[in-house]
Amino acid sequence: MKKIFRLIKKKIISEIYDGFNKDDKYVEIFKNPSSNEVESSLKGDRGVRGLLYQNGDIYIWPAEIYHNQINGNILDLNQIHFYTDGKKYIRFHRDGEIIDIEDLINRVNISRNILENIIDSNSAKVNIYSKDLKHGEENYKGLDNFINRKLINRELDEN
């Protein structure tokens, strides 16, 4: 049975959400980033990390700062985590927890216009990592193939 998701359009306002000092460097966290803010965060050597909330909000920061180094009082770290090294790759995970794929598809649909500021939605490799053997690691080419569940390949976690 195929679920139908209703796309919710909302007014997206990009903003600097918070900032903090880390190792003599000021780090900015952007909420619903514009393409310029994504480029600013990508200036580091390691890409961008972020959180994808159920309501479609996205928060990003330079990848030199790991998810567990973000203050849990600032952001809800129980959301879906992601990492990207630019326009060609994005990895979704939940810090060792199981990802509900239907929930992730819904979040991606809601936040698609923001995600398109971060990755090339047509050609980027979309990697889903979940600790359960039911999903293991799945790879898709582009957001549409992920949404429609057209796998490139699936790798099962052997742990």
pLDDT digits (tens, 9 = 90+) for 69-121: 887 768 898 999 999 987 899 999 987 788 898 999 999 999 999 999 999 99
User: At 88, which amino acid appears?
Assistant: K
Please give the pLDDT value at position 93: 92
pLDDT at 4 > cutoff 80: no
Distance between CA atoms of residues 30 and 19, nearest Å = 9
Q: 22 - beta bridge partners?
A: 25
> 137-150 burial, b if ≥16 CB within 10 A, otherwise e?
ebbbebbeebbeee
Q: Record the pTM.
A: 0.81
When comparing pLDDT for 114 and 18, which is higher?
114
Please give the pLDDT value at position 54: 95
pLDDT at 134 > cutoff 80: no
Alpha helices in the chain (DSSP H): 35-41, 101-118, 143-147
List strands edge to edge, sheet with 25-31. 15-22, 25-31, 58-62, 48-52, 80-86, 89-93, 125-129, 137-141, 153-155
Placement of tokens 């057209």 in the chain: 150
Q: What Å distances lie between residue 3 and 28, 29, 105, 126, CA to CA? A: 37, 34, 10, 21
Please give the pLDDT value at position 142: 93
* DSSP H or E run through 33: none
Please give the pLDDT value at position 158: 47
When comparing pLDDT for 27 and 127, which is higher?
127
Distance between CA atoms of residues 30 and 36, nearest Å = 11
What is the per-residue pLDDT across 20-69, written as a single tens digit (0 to 9) for each? 777 888 888 899 998 888 887 777 667 899 999 999 999 999 888 888 88
The model's confidence at residue 130, banded by pLDDT at 50, 70 and 90, is confident
